[in-house]
């Protein structure tokens, strides 16, 4: 349990810059021919992939990626192979080489990025037709020297491919990362800057306050992965495919919203229209990293007091707040109103939830008690549009995004007793998606503010 509650994401720093970036032709990442073996697995989860090889193609300008697995004799054997796709859009920090192959009912996508010291960072994504969910593994691979190659045939050395942007024109794309600042003020510090993703969303603290999970979208905005980073800062590890992560009270699982359609078909800008499902993964144990379907709906939020899961579900074209019991055998409907009730956030004691609703033709915050269930209590009544609310652990304040500030973004802290609100942080810069830390001392949030130029470090563990 201690391992699952404290996820140490000790990864090396990569050099990149957060902010409004210009992607120009020639801003490329080079991939070399050669072989690599898996040096470490993200969170220590087992992975079928044990190595990669990049080889020359018989067609000019192409290269092939070979995935290796361990055979029955213990030696590396080919798992699958594919031409490497190297033409992409998006900022440098979010670009990946990609290769995919099918094996029976399972399709595999391998995304690769060159790292310092000749290493490769890879995200291995397996999707099975009879399940529909994705199993995600992030691994770091080290170069294999010629005397380690074993029975593998000799491969060519040199540059195999260059990852370049589509089109000839430069373009501008806003990128964002996860930051944290003291709830009573203080300078914002980076938690996760773009490292394999372009835009961050929906950060959520682990119960012990040591880690932050969030959704990291690619340059297209159509392919989010759930990522975990150390709360003290650093690159992130991809653990699942989806958005809107939430931690279980014991820190052993992360629930999230997974795509309800084929790859790149879900409209993540309008969640709820795509038959999304809520899945969870365990962070330790024999089934770690394997998705489990919990419910149909969006905006899952695990109770900080027990194993109940609140989420937004639809019945008879009506969106309301539901709560799934800890054992998954019972489902309670907490709201029943023609308006849209969404984005629930638990009180620390698990006895009530605050949620957003457009009752009265205006977005405001409401509170509903779980036991005994009763009529929703209105908390705000003003012209602001509260969005992405997060209730403080002491229940006295709500952090939310002022919807009127779009697209610039602005977070406000609302004192529920006084009805007063103040900006957070003092100098906003595209800030959104606030999340209180379990001890109430910090708030994590997404921002487009420029981050520091991170110093290069050693290898990822």
* Residues 100-146: tens digit of each pLDDT: 999 878 899 999 998 888 899 999 999 887 666 789 999 999 999 75
What pLDDT, on the 0 to 100 scale, is given for residue 150? 46
CATH H-level superfamily of 175-447: TolB, C-terminal domain (2.120.10.30)
What pLDDT, on the 0 to 100 scale, is given for residue 47? 92
Separation CA 204–CA 401 (nearest Å): 15
For 70-84, b where at least 16 C-beta lie within 10 A, e where not — what string? eeeeeebeebbebeb
* Residues 349-386: tens digit of each pLDDT: 999 999 999 987 888 999 999 877 778 999 888 767 78
Tell me if residue 315 falls in helix, strand or coil: strand
What pLDDT, on the 0 to 100 scale, is given for residue 87? 62
Q: Per-residue confidence at 219, pLDDT binned at 50, 70, 90? A: confident
Q: Are the CB atoms for 155 and 3 separated by under 8 Å?
A: no
Q: Point out the least confidently predicted range of 95-99, 137-141, 248-252.
A: 95-99
Tell me if residue 92 falls in helix, strand or coil: helix
| Between 458 and 331, residue with greater pLDDT | 331
Separation CA 339–CA 359 (nearest Å): 5
Name the most confidently modeled range: 57-66, 84-93, 150-159: 57-66
| Between 268 and 46, residue with greater pLDDT | 46
Q: Are the CB atoms for 343 and 365 separated by under 8 Å?
A: no
Tell me if residue 370 falls in helix, strand or coil: coil
Q: Per-residue confidence at 58, pLDDT binned at 50, 70, 90? A: confident
pLDDT of residue 322 exceeding 90: yes
Q: Per-residue confidence at 256, pLDDT binned at 50, 70, 90? A: very high
* Residues 373-423: tens digit of each pLDDT: 778 999 888 767 788 999 999 999 999 998 765 556 789 999 998 888 888
* Exposure on the CB side of residue 374, measured as CA atoms within 13 A: 10
pLDDT of residue 88 exceeding 70: no
Phi, psi of 375 (to 5 degrees): -70, 145
Task: Cite the residue boundaries of each domain of the chain with CATH code 2.120.10.30.
Answer: 175-447
* Residues 182-218: tens digit of each pLDDT: 998 788 899 999 888 989 999 999 999 999 999 999 8
pLDDT of residue 147 exceeding 60: no
- Helix (H) or strand (E) run with residue 398 in it: strand 397-402
Separation CA 345–CA 308 (nearest Å): 12
- Percentage of the chain surpassing pLDDT 90? 49
> What CATH topology corresponds to 24-165?
Lipocalin (2.40.128)
Number of residues that this document lists for the chain? 461
pLDDT of residue 460 exceeding 50: no
For 433-457, b where at least 16 C-beta lie within 10 A, e where not — what string? bbbbbbebebbbbbbbbebeebeee
What pLDDT, on the 0 to 100 scale, is given for residue 49? 95
What pLDDT, on the 0 to 100 scale, is given for residue 90? 67
Q: What is the residue-wise DSSP string for 154-222?
A: P---SEEEEEEESSSS-EEEE--EEEEEETT----EEEE--SS-SEEEEEEE-TTSSEEEEEEE-TTSS
Which residues, other chains included, contact 154 with Cβ-Cβ below 8 Å and sequence gap of 6+? none
Task: Cite the residue boundaries of each domain of the chain with CATH code 2.40.128.
Answer: 24-165
| Between 2 and 252, residue with greater pLDDT | 252
Q: Are the CB atoms for 208 and 440 separated by under 8 Å?
A: no
Look at the alpha carbons of 442, 448, 454, 457 in this order and tell me if their dihedral is positive or negative. positive
Q: Per-residue confidence at 241, pLDDT binned at 50, 70, 90? A: very high
């Amino acid at each position: 349990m201690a391992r699952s509650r404290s996820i140490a994401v000790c990864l090396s720093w990569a050099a990149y810059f957060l902010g409004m970036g210009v992607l120009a032709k020639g801003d490329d990442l080079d991939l070399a021919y050669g072989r690599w073996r898996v040096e470490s697995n993200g969170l220590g989860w087992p992975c079928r992939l044990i190595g990669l090889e990049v080889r020359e193609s018989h067609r000019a300008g192409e290269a092939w990626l070979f995935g290796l697995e361990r055979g029955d004799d213990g030696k590396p054997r080919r798992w699958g192979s594919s031409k490497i796709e190297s033409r992409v859009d998006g900022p440098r920090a979010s670009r990946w080489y990609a290769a995919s192959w099918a094996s029976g009912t399972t399709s595999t996508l391998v995304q690769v990025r060159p790292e310092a010291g000749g290493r490769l960072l890879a995200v291995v994504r397996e999707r099975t037709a009879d399940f529909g969910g994705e199993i995600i593994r992030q691994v770091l691979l080290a170069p294999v020297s010629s005397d380690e190659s074993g029975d593998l045939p000799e491969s060519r050395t040199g540059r195999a491919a260059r990852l370049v942007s589509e089109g000839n024109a430069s373009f501008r794309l806003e990128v964002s990362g996860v930051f944290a600042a003291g709830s009573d003020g203080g300078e914002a510090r980076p938690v996760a800057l773009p490292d394999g993703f372009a835009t961050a969303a929906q950060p959520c603290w682990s119960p012990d306050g040591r880690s932050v999970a969030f959704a990291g979208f690619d340059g297209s905005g159509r392919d989010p992965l759930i990522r975990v980073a150390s709360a003290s800062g650093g690159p992130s590890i991809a653990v699942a495919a989806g958005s809107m992560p939430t931690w279980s009270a014991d820190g052993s699982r992360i629930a999230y919203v997974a795509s309800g359609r084929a790859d790149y078909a879900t409209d993540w800008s309008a969640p709820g229209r795509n038959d999304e499902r809520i899945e969870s993964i365990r962070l330790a144990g024999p089934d770690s990293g394997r998705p489990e379907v919990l419910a149909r709906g969006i905006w899952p939020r695990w109770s900080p007091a027990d194993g109940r899961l609140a989420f937004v579900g639809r019945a008879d074209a009506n969106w309301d707040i539901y709560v799934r019991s800890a054992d998954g055998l019972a489902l309670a409907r907490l709201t029943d109103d023609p308006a849209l009730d969404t984005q629930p956030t638990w009180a620390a004691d698990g006895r009530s939830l605050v949620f957003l609703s457009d009752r009265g033709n205006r977005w405001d915050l409401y509170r509903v008690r779980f036991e005994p269930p009763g009529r929703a209590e209105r908390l705000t009544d003003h012209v602001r549009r509260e969005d992405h609310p997060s209730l403080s652990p002491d229940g006295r304040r709500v952090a939310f995004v002022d919807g009127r500030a779009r697209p610039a973004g602005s977070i406000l802290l609302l004192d529920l007793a006084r009805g007063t609100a103040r900006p957070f942080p003092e100098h906003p810069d595209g800030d959104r998606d606030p999340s209180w830390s379990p001890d109430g001392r910090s708030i994590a949030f997404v921002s487009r503010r420029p981050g520091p130029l991170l110093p290069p470090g050693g290898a990822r563990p």
